[in-house]
Amino acid sequence: MNTSSESTSGCAALTTFEYLLDELAAPDSVATHILNTVLIDGQETASWGDITASWMYHLDDGYNFVATHG
């Protein structure tokens, strides 16, 4: 997954990762939590609706993000 600031087609103001969060209908509070995660935070989790997500941030690799439905 590309977590850089490159834009996707039709979503000039959104990064690919922000677009994914939008498609998953992540609440603003969850999106903010994810996008403000830093290396020292370690693995974080959040749930909304039927989705559970876990993620980590690494300086060299960006986000490692997994979302499950159900």
pTM (2 decimals)? Answer: 0.74
Domain assignments of the chain as residue spans, ordered by start: 7-69
Q: Do residues 45 and 61 make contact, with C-beta atoms less than 8 angstroms apart?
A: no
Nearest 5°: the CA angle 32, 52, 5 is 40
pLDDT in tens, the chain (70 residues): 444 444 444 445 568 888 899 999 999 999 999 989 999 999 999 999 999 999 999 989 888 999 999 8
| Other residues' Cβ atoms within 10 Å of the Cβ of residue 67 | 15
